[in-house]
Amino acid sequence: MSSRIETLASRVQSVLSERVQRVPSTCDEATFEVKAQDLLDVCTQLRDHAELKFEQLIDLAGMDYLDYGRNEWRTFAATESGFSRGVNPNGEIVKPDEEARFAVVYHLLSITHNVRLRLRCFCGNADAPVLPSVVNIWASANWYEREAFDLYGILFASHPDLRRILTDYGFIGHPFRKDFPLIGNVEVRYDPAKGRVVYQPVSIEPRTLVPRVIREDNRYEPPLKERRVADPT
């Protein structure tokens, strides 16, 4: 981390004290976690405090940590842990409990100080993930929170108009959840007899999208390799 980021992190910890906790970041930005009960107070301080002045919420993203760190690709010629995103240095898989499944990440920009900050808040109950809305702090959160609700099913208390924004009105489920089927739950078609669009069960057969490692390839047969060496054209 650069000295500028370390200075920002020290400033944030000095102002917000124990209400935030710094976490490691691989994107070269200062990243902190905040508890749900402290979210509104912390966000208000981040916006209004003279040493912080994060006037702009540039993005808000939902996160689903279900099966975080599980190795998806098990092949003979590929490492079992090389594709895992959540394996710690000891090789142990990091799998959060149900209360740490859903989170919201806030990307903040201070125009005054020209610095950026990432803030993460876990939603708690995985069956009904909910966080307080920050629309009254940053107006730009309005559609961002609707997007997180639509795609992840995360609820935002006190949001002025929490409804779907990307999927159709009759869409079932939340497509960015890790347990959502790749083929979906319903499909849409136009019914000439009824003269309208209708929903019906998915007719696509499920497929297992597992990358395959090619262990034998005729391009590497000895005669072909010798021919390429002798005649490069």
Q: Which domains does the chain have, with CATH numbers?
A: 1-66+101-161 (3.30.460.80)
Burial of 125 (0-12, 13-18, 19+ CB in 10 A): exposed
Interstrand relation of 102-110 and 115-122 (parallel, antiparallel or unpaired): antiparallel
Q: What pLDDT was estimated at residue 218?
A: 62
Report the distance separating Cα 51 and Cα 124, nearest Å.
30
166-180 per-position pLDDT tens digit? 988 778 889 999 888
Indicate the pLDDT class of residue 23, thresholds 50, 70 and 90: very high
Terminal C-alpha separation, the chain: 50
Q: What pLDDT was estimated at residue 122?
A: 96
Closest by Cα among 38, 1, 2 to 119? 38
Higher pLDDT, 186 or 49: 49
pTM, to two decimals: 0.75
Q: According to the per-residue pLDDT averaged within each range, which of 51-55, 85-89, 198-202, 210-214 is highest?
A: 51-55
Q: Is 200 helix (H, G, I), strand (E, B) or coil?
A: strand
Report the distance separating Cα 45 and Cα 1, nearest Å.
24
Indicate the pLDDT class of residue 87, thresholds 50, 70 and 90: very low
Higher pLDDT, 137 or 199: 137
Q: Are 32 and 119 in contact (CB under 8 A)?
A: yes
Q: Are 178 and 151 in contact (CB under 8 A)?
A: no
Q: What is the mean pLDDT of residues 89-99?
A: 56
Q: What pLDDT was estimated at residue 194?
A: 93
Q: 188 pairs with which residues across the strands?
A: 199
Answer yes or no: is pLDDT of 201 > 60: yes
Lowest mean pLDDT among 94-103, 145-154, 193-202: 94-103
Q: What pLDDT was estimated at residue 129?
A: 95
Report the distance separating Cα 52 and Cα 54, nearest Å.
6
Indicate the pLDDT class of residue 83, thresholds 50, 70 and 90: very low
